[in-house]
Amino acid sequence: MKRAIYPGSFDPVTNGHLDVVERARKLFDEVIVAVAHNDEKLPMFSLEERLELLNQTAGKIDNVRVTQFDGLLIEFARNEKASAVIRGLRAVSDFEFEFQMALMNRKLESSVETIFLMPKEEYTYLSSRLVKEIARLGGDVSKFVPAIVTTALGKKFKR
């Protein structure tokens, strides 16, 4: 059983994340989308909200499971008997941080490989941060996120 973890903040999940999930699930028997607990990024959506939005989207896809994790990613990967960590690469700007993380994780646990997947070109400029910014300013985000996320963002920014 080949299992991969796709970790992140998912604050909130976007079509870019879902594109990466679709690619990953073709390579592995199971993909675990894992929402990070210990988020220094001060998320807009609570852990429960982020999990709910993921459960209603990624969680509906075959051989994809949604869960949360706390502490070291590599420890979580070990407990789940995962052989790979999936990360999305959008642009060169993602590279430096991701490269550092991947090599550090390899030092911590050499049996877990980090695999980078590129989304469809139209998602390379998409980030949760930008989506939140557009929604905050009253723009239309429906092309970038699943419908339930558009609704959830609408509720957050109701004036």
Interface with ligand ADP (CB under 6 A) = 8-10, 14, 16-17, 20, 87-88, 90, 94, 119, 123, 126-128
The sheet that has 64-69: what strands, in order across it? 64-69, 30-36, 3-8, 84-88, 113-117
- In the complex with ligand ADP, which residue's Cβ is closer, 80 or 89? 89
Catalytic residue (one of 9, 87, 128, 132)? 128
Which secondary-structure segment (H or E) carries 30? strand 30-36
17 is catalytic: yes
- Minimal distance in Å, beta carbon 109 to ligand ADP? 18
- In the complex with ligand ADP, which residue's Cβ is closer, 22 or 109? 22
69 phi, psi to nearest 5 deg: -150, 155
Measured CA to CA, the distance from residue 159 to residue 67 in angstroms comes to 32
- Minimal distance in Å, beta carbon 12 to ligand ADP? 9
- Minimal distance in Å, beta carbon 105 to ligand ADP? 12
- In the complex with ligand ADP, which residue's Cβ is closer, 64 or 126? 126
Tokens of 17: 């994340």
128 is catalytic: yes
90 is catalytic: yes
Type of residue numbered 24? A
Cβ atoms of 59 and 17 within 8 Å: the answer is: no
Catalytic residue (one of 25, 50, 87, 90)? 90
Residue owning tokens 């590129």? 118
- In the complex with ligand ADP, which residue's Cβ is closer, 38 or 79? 38
